[in-house]
């Protein structure tokens, strides 16, 4: 699990990207398929080693510094933003790593609460910092799993592996098809000169720690158990046909979304590999409708945003991305129409909601890395 040692350094800069999920929403913790990609925006940490055993995290978005004492084992209990790096530090402490003190200055160009995995970016960036300071490294999957555990234990969000894997394994010019059961990850070429991906922030800040996310996960587990399966990934067409009547209406809707979304996800990969953008766009539309009607994790603003966007010439498809309850939508558009689409969506969404939506186009980017100095 631990890779060959590299030389520990005293000052360096780490960048970890955010991510968008192209399709495969709320399938990761059901052992299903997802297709995220790392984006060009993310979290950057400038690091300097200290003489003491304190980790001092400073964020441009927060007043003061979060001070973590590395002489003692870190435990859950923080309620501020520093619970994310604290959880990662605790993970390496459990492995027996002796982490030196350091100053970490954090900057980010991801909208907080926008569903673009700012938390996973901070976690994986922190992991990369620790490994640079200690002169050794975990393999990327072990690093992602450590960060996932940090989010479970220190932030109280029972997330699947998608976000941390997308940040750790991101590859420029590619999306990632992740099988969350086998943990197999395949890079899939995405984009090019003919299409663009537009990310639009609904302006509604989402929070996955408020109970709704955990509730959806529990509903899926209940549905799987009622179907006699360990997870919804194990539910075959024959099992569904024979046993779905045993589910409550709520369980049937939740499980119905997950099962159909897995199929859509594999079909989406086939479509983008063939550069069949209209087919990919239709699958995105179907995904959003299912998340809205069956899984009930959209909101009025996201629905309005998608309705406005899909009406624009040059748009193949639009859907919410991330856990939901706010955050961002993504639109697959022809590259030539991207500027016009962005302008029209900004205007019409402002008129409909009064929200001045932030938006940007992005390409698939590389994963977490140390920047050259």
Residue 13's CATH number: 3.30.230.10
Per-residue tokens: 200: 């639009």
Rounded CA gap, 199 and 331, in Å? 7
Give the residue-averaged pLDDT of 69-75: 97
pLDDT in tens, 307-364: 999 999 999 999 999 888 899 999 999 999 999 999 999 999 999 999 999 999 999 9
Residue 56 dihedral angles phi and psi, to the nearest 5°: -110, 110
pLDDT in tens, 174-218: 999 999 999 999 999 998 889 999 999 999 986 655 688 889 999
Q: Are the beta carbons of 48 and 36 closer than 8 angstroms? A: no
pLDDT in tens, 217-248: 999 999 999 999 999 999 999 999 999 999 99
Examine the domain organization and report whether 341 and 243 are in the same domain: yes
- Has 52 been annotated as catalytic? no
Residue 373, pLDDT score: 79
Q: Which domain, by its residues, includes 254?
A: 190-362
Q: CA-based angle 199:312:111, to the nearest 5?
A: 15
Q: What percent of the chain has pLDDT over 70?
A: 96
Examine the domain organization and report whether 140 and 43 are in the same domain: yes
Examine the domain organization and report whether 86 and 143 are in the same domain: yes
Residue 360, pLDDT score: 95
Query: Regarding predicted confidence, which is higher, 193 or 150?
Result: 150
DSSP state at residue 171: B
Examine the domain organization and report whether 14 and 154 are in the same domain: yes
pLDDT greater than 90 at residue 257: yes
Q: Are the beta carbons of 247 and 219 closer than 8 angstroms? A: no
CA distances from 71 to 11, 54, 75, 76, 100 (A): 21, 8, 12, 16, 9
Examine the domain organization and report whether 123 and 231 are in the same domain: no
Residue 28, pLDDT score: 94
Give the residue-averaged pLDDT of 50-72: 94
pLDDT in tens, 158-175: 888 999 999 999 999 999
Q: What is the CATH number of the domain that holds 342?
A: 3.30.70.890
3-state secondary structure of 204: coil
CA distances from 157 to 29, 141, 150, 151, 364 (A): 12, 19, 9, 6, 26
Examine the domain organization and report whether 236 and 350 are in the same domain: yes
Residue 346, pLDDT score: 97
CA distances from 126 to 58, 110, 218, 263, 306 (A): 13, 16, 30, 35, 34
Task: Output the pTM of the full model.
Answer: 0.93
Q: Which of 28, 31, 163, 348 is catalytic?
A: 163
Examine the domain organization and report whether 309 and 341 are in the same domain: yes
Burial class (CB in 10 A: 0-12, 13-18, 19+), 77: exposed
Examine the domain organization and report whether 143 and 260 are in the same domain: no
Output Rg (C-alpha) for the chain, integer angstroms. 21
Residue 199, pLDDT score: 97
CA distances from 350 to 74, 200, 329, 356 (A): 45, 12, 15, 6
Examine the domain organization and report whether 231 and 312 are in the same domain: yes
Q: What is the mean pLDDT of the chain?
A: 94
Residue 4, pLDDT score: 47
Examine the domain organization and report whether 293 and 200 are in the same domain: yes
Examine the domain organization and report whether 106 and 20 are in the same domain: yes
Per-residue tokens: 204: 């509604």
Q: Considering its fold, how many domains does the chain have in total?
A: 2
pLDDT greater than 80 at residue 250: yes
- The terminus-to-terminus CA distance of the chain in angstroms comes to 28
């Amino acid at each position: 699990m631990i890779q060959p040692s590299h030389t520990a350094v005293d000052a360096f800069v780490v960048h970890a990207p955010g991510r968008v999920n192209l399709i495969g929403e709320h399938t990761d913790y059901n052992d299903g398929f997802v297709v995220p990609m790392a984006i060009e925006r993310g979290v950057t940490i400038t690091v300097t080693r200290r003489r003491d055993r304190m980790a001092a995290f400073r964020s441009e978005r927060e007043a003061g510094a979060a001070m973590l004492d590395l002489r003692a084992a870190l435990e859950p209990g923080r309620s501020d933003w520093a619970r994310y790096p604290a959880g990662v530090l605790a993970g390496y402490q459990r492995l027996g790593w002796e982490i030196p003190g350091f100053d970490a200055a954090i900057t980010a160009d991801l909208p907080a609460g926008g569903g673009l995995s700012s938390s996973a970016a901070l976690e994986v960036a922190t992991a990369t910092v620790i490994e640079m300071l200690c002169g050794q490294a975990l393999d990327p999957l072990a690093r992602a799993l450590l960060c996932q555990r940090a989010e479970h234990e220190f932030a109280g969000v029972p997330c699947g592996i998608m976000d941390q894997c997308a940040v750790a394994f991101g590859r420029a010019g590619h999306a990632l098809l992740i099988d969350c059961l086998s943990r197999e990850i395949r890079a899939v070429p995405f984009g090019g000169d003919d299409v663009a991906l537009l990310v639009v922030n609904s302006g509604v800040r989402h929070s996955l720690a408020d109970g709704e996310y955990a509730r959806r996960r529990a509903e899926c587990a209940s549905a799987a158990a009622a179907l006699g399966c360990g997870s919804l990934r194990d539910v075959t067409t024959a099992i569904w046909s024979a046993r779905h009547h045993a589910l409550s209406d709520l369980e049937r809707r939740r499980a119905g979304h997950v099962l159909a979304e897995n199929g859509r996800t594999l079909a989406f990969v086939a479509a983008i590999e063939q550069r069949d953008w209209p087919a990919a766009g239709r699958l995105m539309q179907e995904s959003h409708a299912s998340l809205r009607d069956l899984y009930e994790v959209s909101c009025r603003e996201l629905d309005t945003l998608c309705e406005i966007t899909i009406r624009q010439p040059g748009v193949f498809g639009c859907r919410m991305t991330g856990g939901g309850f706010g955050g961002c939508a993504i639109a697959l558009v022809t590259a030539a129409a991207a500027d016009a689409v962005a302008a029209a969506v900004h205007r019409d969404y402002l008129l409909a909601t009064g929200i001045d939506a932030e938006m940007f186009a992005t390409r698939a980017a590389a994963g977490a890395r140390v920047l050259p100095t």
